Amino acid sequence: MNKEIKKKLVKNWFSDLQDLICYEVEEIENKSASFKINQWVKNKKKDEGGGEFRILENGKVFDKVGVNFSEVYGSFSKELRKNIPGTKNNPKFWATGISVVMHMKNPHIPAMHFNTRYISTSHEWFGGGMDVTPCLKDNRLKSWFHIELKNCCDRHNKKYYKKYKKWCDNYFYLAHRKEPRGIGGIFFDYKKDNWEKDFTFVRDVGLTFKKIFSLIIKKKIGRKWSSAEKDLQYIKRGRYVEFNLIYDRGTKFGLKTGGNVDAIFMSLPPIAKWK
Amino acid sequence: MNKEIKKKLVKNWFSDLQDLICYEVEEIENKSASFKINQWVKNKKKDEGGGEFRILENGKVFDKVGVNFSEVYGSFSKELRKNIPGTKNNPKFWATGISVVMHMKNPHIPAMHFNTRYISTSHEWFGGGMDVTPCLKDNRLKSWFHIELKNCCDRHNKKYYKKYKKWCDNYFYLAHRKEPRGIGGIFFDYKKDNWEKDFTFVRDVGLTFKKIFSLIIKKKIGRKWSSAEKDLQYIKRGRYVEFNLIYDRGTKFGLKTGGNVDAIFMSLPPIAKWK
């Protein structure tokens, strides 16, 4: 398939998925909060693309949700080219992605994160994943979540779940504290096995995330919480900030390539605490 | 002077200064809060030193103060040796330091940071500085603060203030936001001009910090604040977290050398917010 057609298909899907997810979130909020839409351009002087991030705050269910869509292009600096496949002889890149982070009011509902992206250099590949960060332990939820992910993966390839779960466990790990960020999920990168199958998988991951976050909220929304439990959530959010600022590749990539700070830091919680 | 005597003199001074600063903070709190003392060892299996960090929380004047003293030693990893003077042929190091961070209840009082350290490899040098981060603008306070710093520097060398102020401005800068962390201060590193004079300067910087934080608090403590001003402080503290986790060399050094996480993150505010 023509490269330009691929780009257009993926970009349109990520943009549509942004609409689908935002619609679902606002349905859950049932009119008590809505998204603010922020459009941004990467470079004001020349066309390097941009994106749209949407933030919903102070809802009845969500403390903060950020849903970011981007389509950016340009040339990588020498420093970045070392780490990006397919840029050795040509620094040009084109990238599109969607990322979502949800910080919940009820500390019984975990923070949820999802991202899929597509990068085109002289190579082209998909990346993405999702993970969930509870502040209160719930083994049943953990099992259920991983079965849902396994089912999603198994629809495409019986080897994916094991491989992508392990990748996620390794990635979302706070080495300085020797603790995982949450209860894991799936994570994949440099995925370029078969373009059409990969794209089908990526679409399924997005729809599975939409299903999972809605069901987790439904399962947990009725549970009462104490101020001590809310405080545990603030502390756990501090860990979230630590992960995103110290380790997260997307954050580092965004800051180094002059991305929009507000869009990049959309993932940060509204309030975090440290003891 | 014998290397071991130098180490002992510096270490004892940093430890004494910890006592002096903690005493002053508790005097300001006037019995409404006191420090909790935490001792830690760097390596439980073999002797690599350790330290003592003291944290005071939820005071009438201070939301959180951390005062950390450390004396650590061992061998640098290959990766770290590249960046540390005097370790090319011998990876051994010995280091002692004191660092202080104060997050204030009253948003009219800036957050204050101070640190001095002494590192001994096949070279030996001092480093340190202090800087101040207001969330509300006050040009008179800024002028006064810099005059105090200039006076301190001028007592030792007329060239220090200009040089160390600039170093501080360059260091405490959030490149991703194109904004300074606060109103600056002084910062110096790899200082090894004349051991006795350097040590005298480092002692004076410590005592000047003690004088400055007490006076800033006295000047500002009577000012009333609104919840909007407190919220501005929480946002500014978010920037503080960003700086410490993304840029701060001491934090990175500590995390990479397996330092005590609680002691390293003592600098983080009790509560931070992101919009």
Phi and psi at residue B247, to the nearest 5°: -115, -35
Shortest distance between the Cα of B135 and any Cα of chain A, in A, equals 17
Nearest chain A Cα to B234, which residue? Answer: A271
What is the CB neighbour count within 10 angstroms for residue A46?
8
A144 has pLDDT over 90: yes
pLDDT in tens, B12-58: 999 999 999 999 999 999 999 999 999 999 888 999 999 999 999 99
Cα–Cα dist B177/A262, whole Å: 9
Cα–Cα dist B77/A18, whole Å: 45
DSSP A129-141: EEEEE-SS--HHH
Cα–Cα dist B188/B149, whole Å: 13
Q: Is B44 on the interface with A (CB under 8 A)?
A: no
Residues of A in contact with B242 (CB under 8 A): 245, 265
Contact A268 B238 (CB under 8 A): yes
pLDDT in tens, A21-57: 999 999 999 999 999 999 999 888 999 999 999 999 9
Cα–Cα dist A81/A253, whole Å: 12
Percent of chain B at pLDDT > 90 equals: 84
Active site residue A156: no
| Cross-strand pairs, B191 | B126
Domain membership flag for residue B68 = yes
Token duo for residue B34: 């006191």
Residues of A in contact with B245 (CB under 8 A): 241-242, 245-246
Q: Which of B176, B246, B272 sits opposite A272 (nearest CB)?
A: B272
Token duo for residue B64: 């959180």
Contact B234 A274 (CB under 8 A): no
Domain membership flag for residue A272 = no
Residues of A in contact with B66 (CB under 8 A): none
Domain membership flag for residue A129 = yes
* Interval A115-144 mean pLDDT: 95
Residues of A in contact with B63 (CB under 8 A): none
* Interval B132-144 mean pLDDT: 96
The pTM assigned to this predicted structure is 0.90
Four-CA torsion A212, A215, A221, A223, nearest 10 degrees: -100
Query: pLDDT band at A147, cuts 50/70/90?
Result: very high
Cα–Cα dist A153/B65, whole Å: 48
Give me the residues of B, 152-181, that contact A with CB < 8 A: 176-177
Q: Which of B245, B270, B274 sits opposite A246 (nearest CB)?
A: B245
Q: Amino acid letter at B11? A: K
Task: Provide the CATH number for the domain around residue A63.
Answer: 3.40.1500.10
Q: Is B250 on the interface with A (CB under 8 A)?
A: no
Domain membership flag for residue A233 = yes
Cα–Cα dist A243/B72, whole Å: 26
Nearest chain A Cα to B264, which residue? Answer: A176
ipTM value of the model?
Answer: 0.87
* Interval B236-254 mean pLDDT: 93
Domain membership flag for residue A108 = yes
pLDDT in tens, A70-128: 999 988 888 778 778 888 888 899 999 999 999 999 999 999 999 999 999 989 999 99
Contact A274 B265 (CB under 8 A): yes
Q: Amino acid letter at A196? A: E
- Number of domains forming the structure of chain B: 1
Shortest distance between the Cα of A274 and any Cα of chain B, in A, equals 5
* Sign for the pseudo-dihedral over CA of B77, B83, B87, B89: positive
Domain membership flag for residue B275 = no
- Domain of residue B263 covers 3-267
Shortest distance between the Cα of A212 and any Cα of chain B, in A, equals 26
Residues of B in contact with A246 (CB under 8 A): 245-246, 255
Domain membership flag for residue A163 = yes
Shortest distance between the Cα of A117 and any Cα of chain B, in A, equals 22
pLDDT score recorded for residue A222: 96
B257 has pLDDT over 80: no
Query: pLDDT band at A1, cuts 50/70/90?
Result: confident
Q: Is B74 on the interface with A (CB under 8 A)?
A: no
Domain membership flag for residue B272 = no
